[in-house]
Amino acid sequence: MKLTVVASQSLESSTMVGRIIPLLRELKRQFDIKSEIIALHHDYKRADKKVFEQDGLAVKYVGQMAVTKKEGGSKEYRSGISLVVTVVWSTLKIFASLFRSKGDIIYVVKPHPQNLLPAILVKLLRRKKIVLDSDDLEVEANKTQSKLQRWVLRMTEKLGVKFSSAIIACSPFLKEHYCKSGVPADKIFYVPTGLSDISKNKILFSHAGFLQKHNLKPDTKIVLYCGSLSISSGHRLDILLKSLSVLVNDLEQVVLVLAGSGEDRKQLEDLAKKLKVADKIIFYGRYQLAEVRSLIELADVVVDPVDDSLTNRAKSSSRVVQALYLNKPVVTSNVGVRKELLRGLGTMAKPDNPADLARVLKVILTNQQSADKFTAGHERVKSMQWSQLAPQVKEILEEV
């Protein structure tokens, strides 16, 4: 069996890094299911390589994403004629490559027009099967600039429902969403965003060494956030910074480490200055998977700040799963999959409530008994390793 994976984003995106590439790698390792990836690049003109192999996967960039991502995570959003031309041209380029591909199944990453429409055309022309992998409620998660863009995303999703032989959803909320959209129960499958065995990664820096490097006292408590610095994507770092301004009134020796990059870093830096907590925040910058264990082991608590939006109900939470896998305390809110992941392990903060988030963080940071409850975290999520999820996906692929 061979998959042709079509993505409207680059391999550096969180969906590709955290979900698609680990899955494809595991399918190859366990079952010798080969994959080729046809994708769009975040800065196509400046891409060093357009055709290459990565982790045993053949990759081909064929065009420009609708958004251009710059150094440091900032984004340039197209609009009007520029957006239409970019989307149409990229859609045609994906179609040309996909039509020539020799894959048995077309694996569509997210229901976007640039990758789903070519997949549907090739399905009709060459009688291929489509499997749609969905990890977001796209109409809500994307930063749209008009009602027309939202309509296009809604219609694209409806086409995905109609033409896909199977749909794989990353959360129970998304699975229910597709069921309500008319997908038969035997066509929709829940496969969470899994994790690689990060426990085997080398520790790259020590707790004491990190504190010394940043001129922090030995008893300083570290609160860690790992992920995108993009508030519009559902990562409510504005709530987190406001909670930090409350927390420092009770805990003087505390620091927040923000690991990741994104379009809202400058906005967060300005907010930190306004809240007078800039000296309590370390912007770690973009990180690699090999650094995840070191970052989590460094922390006293991992935080996942969310509001109760449709976007966050639909999403999975890799930072919660990774922290639990290493038995690290996590503070988040009862939104989406988080309720089941943290059931019985600790108190959850009220969503979109900085004061309550600060309260729960203080409990974890000052009460060892509360922190110790998370030693059961590994057992809770060990079945979510990609090595165990890949066989489920293989069965889905064989059934279509």
DSSP codes, 62-77:
EEE-SEEEPGGG-EEE
Could you list the pLDDT tens digit for every one of the 400 residues in the chain? Answer: 999 999 999 998 889 999 999 999 999 999 999 999 999 999 998 888 999 998 889 999 999 998 887 665 667 777 788 889 999 999 999 999 999 999 999 999 999 999 999 999 999 999 999 999 999 888 777 777 788 888 999 999 999 999 999 999 999 999 999 999 989 999 999 999 999 888 888 889 888 889 999 999 999 999 999 998 988 778 899 999 999 999 999 998 999 999 998 889 999 999 999 999 999 999 999 898 889 999 999 999 999 999 999 989 998 888 999 999 999 999 999 999 998 898 888 779 999 999 999 999 999 999 888 888 888 899 999 999 999 999 999 999 999 9
> What residues have CB less than 8 Å from 121, skipping those under 6 apart?
95, 99
User: Distance between CA 254 and CA 299 in Å, rounded?
Assistant: 11
**Residue spans per domain, the chain:** 2-194+386-399, 198-383
CB atoms within 10 A of CB 135: 24
> What residues have CB less than 8 Å from 195, skipping those under 6 apart?
318, 321, 322, 325, 381, 384, 385, 386
> What residues have CB less than 8 Å from 328, skipping those under 6 apart?
296, 297, 299, 301, 302, 374, 377
The reply to whether CATH 2.60.120.40 applies to domain 2-194+386-399 is no
User: Distance between CA 111 and CA 166 in Å, rounded?
Assistant: 13
Domain with residues 198-383, CATH architecture = 3-Layer(aba) Sandwich (3.40)
Q: Are strands 57-64 and 34-41 parallel, antiparallel or unpaired?
A: parallel
Give residue 80's identity as a one-letter amino acid code. G
What are the strands, taking DSSP E only, across 264-394?
Answer: 281-285, 301-303, 330-331
Give the dihedral of Cα atoms 328, 315, 387, 380; nearest 10 deg: 40
Asked whether this chain's domains 2-194+386-399 and 198-383 adopt the same fold, the reply is yes
User: Distance between CA 268 and CA 362 in Å, rounded?
Assistant: 22
